[in-house]
Chains A and B, each alone.
Chain A
Amino acid sequence: MSKSSIQFSRRNFLRTSSLASGGLLIGFNLFTACKSDVKPPVDLADLNYNDFNAFIKIAKNGAVTIFSPNPEIGQGVKTSMPMIIAEELDVSWDNVYVQQGVLDTKNYTRQVAGGSQSIRFGWDALRQTGATAKQMLVNAAAARWSVDASELTVSEGVITNKAGETLTYGDVVDEAAVLEVPENAVLKEPKDYKIIGTDRRNVDIDKIVTGQPLFGIDYKEEGMLYASVLRPPAFGQELVSFDATEAKALPGVVDVIQIGDKAKALLGGEKVNWTAQLSGSGKVVVLAKTTWDAFKGKKPSKPFGQMLHL
């Protein structure tokens, strides 16, 4: 731990904009440098995870919203990654709101969890982002008071000058948004940590204890169908044929289709990926109006299809 600069190019990892609705939006990248020609949007509806894979909004009332693209799968990143930002930004954890970034497979290529990498690779960038954002807000306050930024102190989102006057982050977000991104942000010493290293509750705890929608299986769309996949019973087996007559006659079953050809076509080629390697066999999918209808469609009285041992 040191005050030394970090390894990646600071010039290219963070950019800011003023939100049309007021407040400061910071776009930054956790794993790669930013492109030189993009700025975060002025409207939250236009968040694009191709240009920046994470965003922070600081509203005029001082509330901090962190938009994180990394999927929460029980490893705690929806809580722990924002904790790191909040630490260096120096805000009260109670004023931080965490919002899951949208699933955007077109624009965002690394929206996955795996290999215990989120914190390991995000650590420097998250701290630097928080520290840089803090420095911008301090610089804005310094300009307002016509003093040197080094004379100011910060605690939990409140900036104090030598005379004891204070400004909150919310007071200066609009001014900060138009400043140059500073390159001299100083990281906290670990002994000064107030959030990192402490035990904070899962940010989704209220939803979990009251049964509110949270998981993929809880997603609902008007008129959506439910799919159930019938896979070969053993690894390495292949679907030869299937007869969907009986399944299609069941109430609620809308269609029966075959998938897996795309993955199979990749096998043996140069661009074969791990998904194809794991699932390069034909599969039968029952589409139905409810989950139970789809399950029943997978279990007709006669054997569904023939499986070939390879």
Chain B
Amino acid sequence: MPTYQLTVNGKAHTVEASEDTPLLWVLRDHLNMVGTKFGCGIAQCGACTVHVDGNATRSCSLPVASAAGMSITTIEGLSEDGSHPVQQAWKEVDVPQCGYCQAGQMMTASAFLAKNPSPTEEEIKDAMNGNICRCAAYNRIKKAVGVAAEKMA
């Protein structure tokens, strides 16, 4: 089985996995980083979102072979101590209900705000449109992205 060099949250890892293994399962099963969640497995729900070279990416549909050598950031590495403005905003607004989709929501939000630090409400809605929340915490998600943007200003 081939081996791959991955940089996750700034740390180098060597993993042995078949080349079609999605990054999601390498993170969860091989590296025991379970913050990134499995939702649909077909890049339709956003629960598995991580940053690959700063871009919000669906890890369930990215083969490990394509992720090798790139800089990957997961929810565990968004900040060292939960102090990223998006994490702070999520706590302040008390966004989660069950919380299962929220790692993906926060990774999408943080990648978006890095590119657009002062978004309009419409831009927030567009950016978060691909992340599904079965609890329907959408209003709080939208609010928290705005709160995070204010914190980053």
Chain A interface (Cβ within 8 Å of chain B)?
72-76, 199, 201-202, 204-215, 217-218, 220, 226, 251-252, 290-292, 295
Contacts and interface: CB of A to CB of B under 8 A. Distances in A.
* Chain B contact residues, majority secondary structure: loop
Nearest to A76: B97
Given A74-B97, A199-B94, A205-B94, A290 B30 contact: yes
B98 A74 contact: yes
Given A74-B97, A201-B91, A201-B94, A291 B25 contact: yes
B1 A292 contact: no
Contacts of B87: 209-210
Given A209-B91, A290-B29, A251 B106 contact: no
Given A199-B94, A291-B29, A74 B99 contact: yes
A290 B21 contact: yes
Interface string B29-61: 110111111100100000000000000000000
B103 A211 contact: yes
Contacts of B8: none
Nearest to A210: B82
B38 A209 contact: no
24 contacts: A72-B98, A74-B97, A74-B99, A202-B96, A204-B96, A205-B90, A208-B96, A208-B99, A209-B75, A209-B96, A210-B76, A211-B34, A211-B78, A217-B37, A220-B32, A220-B34, A251-B1, A290-B17, A290-B21, A291-B25, A291-B28, A291-B29, A291-B38, A292-B21
A210 B90 CA distance: 11
A73 B103 contact: no
Nearest to A292: B25
Interface string B53-90: 00000000000000000000011101000100001001
What are the 9 tightest A-B residue pairs by CB atom distance, in nearest-first order? Answer: A211-B35, A74-B98, A211-B75, A208-B99, A218-B34, A292-B25, A290-B29, A209-B87, A74-B97
B138 interface: no
Interface residues of B, number: 36
Contacts of A226: 29
Contacts of B99: 74, 202, 204, 207-208, 214-215
Contacts of A292: 17-18, 20-22, 25, 29
Given A291-B28, A292-B25, A212 B94 contact: no
Nearest to B92: A201
Nearest to A288: B29
A272 B13 CA distance: 50
